Amino acid sequence: FPCWPVRGGNCTAGTEFILLGSGRGPGFQLVPFLMFLAMYMVTVLGNTILVLIIRADSHLHTPMYFFFMNLSLLDLCYSSTIAPRAMVSFLAGSKAISYNGCATQFLFFALFLTTEAFLLAAMAFDQYSTICNPLQYPTTMSKRVCIQLVVGSYICGCVNSMVQTGFTFMLHYCGSNEIDHFFCDGPPLISLSSSDTYINNLVMFTVCSLIIASTALIVLVSYIYIISTIRRIHSAEGRQRAFSTCTFHMMVVTLFYGTNAFMYAQPTWIFSLNAVSVFYTLFIPILRNKDVKNALRRTMGKKSLKT
């Protein structure tokens, strides 16, 4: 348990943290509350509608849209892990979060974030199979394989989240309980601890670097083969069609690895994470919704032309 200092220099078990990233001023904060509410509603409604559309339309029961659907579910989950608690802080003016609540929030956020990294790698392999090996695609990306890739992504997410949460909340917190962040995340929690955090920083840096490097390598190698294959297509229309199928995934990959490498794959935490975290947890799901809707619109347009 964390420990706060008491008179005489002893420590007692703490029961809560204070999230300063939710605003330092006391009382009701209308502007940030409305901003978070609007972005969260767009994220929830957009992802829910996309999941329902993909489930309802048999034309979209393909591996690509199966991964899109799971990506939308992940967006919904990790946004719901962060935004509601932040809005409560803005609305009620209470920035306190219990020790168990903080650990739970960090556990689920790490779970969904890690799962997405492996899911994006699986999507890159799907793009590779579509463009580079179209004749073997039905066998390579069968329904069973797709389910195994998604389940495997969640298993990797579970392992990493339990390791990160276990190491972070084994620390002692004899000092300030004020977290300079708007949710419970690893770097600000570790920097708050009064324990020797060398092992924790090393574990977080090593594990996050391995996850980012391994999944990014899969994406990079897949797109090297994809670009090489597309360049050999003689038809300009064929090249454009092939590139259009990869545009959404390339944008998501760039945003994901860029923001997460900036937040986690660094040995020191000398910067504020708030702006980057808001951008990733709320803005990126909104951007992804727009691109998935465009992809759905293009696909539905092609289907209607064929019929």
CB 109 within 8 A of CB 157: no
Separation of alpha carbons 119 and 36, rounded Å: 26
- The residue segments making up the domain with residue 113 are 27-296
Q: Which of 10-14, 52-56, 96-100 has the highest mean pLDDT?
A: 96-100
pLDDT at 193: 81
Among 93-107, 121-135, 260-274, which stretch is predicted with the lowest mean pLDDT?
Answer: 260-274
**CATH (domain of 132):** 1.20.1070.10
pLDDT at 92: 75
Q: If you average pLDDT over every residue of the chain, what do you get?
A: 77
Q: How many domains, the chain?
A: 1
Whether residue 62 lies inside any domain: the answer is yes
Residues forming beta bridges with residue 88, ordered by sequence position: none
Whether residue 20 lies inside any domain: the answer is no
Separation of alpha carbons 66 and 123, rounded Å: 10
Q: Please give the share of the chain, as a percent, with pLDDT higher than 70.
A: 75
Whether residue 138 lies inside any domain: the answer is yes
Whether residue 87 lies inside any domain: the answer is yes
Whether the predicted pLDDT of 266 surpasses 60: no
Which residue has 């009701």 as its token pair? 28
pLDDT at 160: 94
Whether residue 4 lies inside any domain: the answer is no
Determine the average pLDDT of the residues in 67-82: 86
pLDDT at 115: 94
Q: Please give the share of the chain, as a percent, with pLDDT higher than 90.
A: 19
Burial class of residue 6, CB neighbours in 10 A (0-12, 13-18, 19+): exposed
Whether residue 159 lies inside any domain: the answer is yes
- Using alpha carbons, select from 114, 109, 115, 113 the residue that is nearest to residue 97: 109
| pTM confidence score | 0.79
pLDDT for 2-40, tens place per residue? 443 333 344 544 578 888 765 555 555 777 788 888 888
Among 30-39, 147-156, 238-247, 276-285, which stretch is predicted with the lowest mean pLDDT?
Answer: 276-285
Whether residue 188 lies inside any domain: the answer is yes
Whether residue 141 lies inside any domain: the answer is yes
Q: 3-class secondary structure for 129-189?
A: HHHHCCCCHHHHCCHHHHHHHHHHHHHHHHHHHHHHHHHHCCCCCCCCCEECCCCCCHHHH
pLDDT at 259: 64
pLDDT for 128-184, tens place per residue? 998 888 889 988 999 999 999 999 999 999 999 999 999 888 888 777 788 877 788
Which DSSP string corresponds to 235-277? Answer: -HHHHHHHHHHHHHHHHHHHHHHHHHHHHTSSS---S--HHHH
- Using alpha carbons, select from 141, 182, 154, 161 the residue that is nearest to residue 73: 154
Task: Give the tokens for residue 53.
Answer: 């559309």
pLDDT at 172: 82
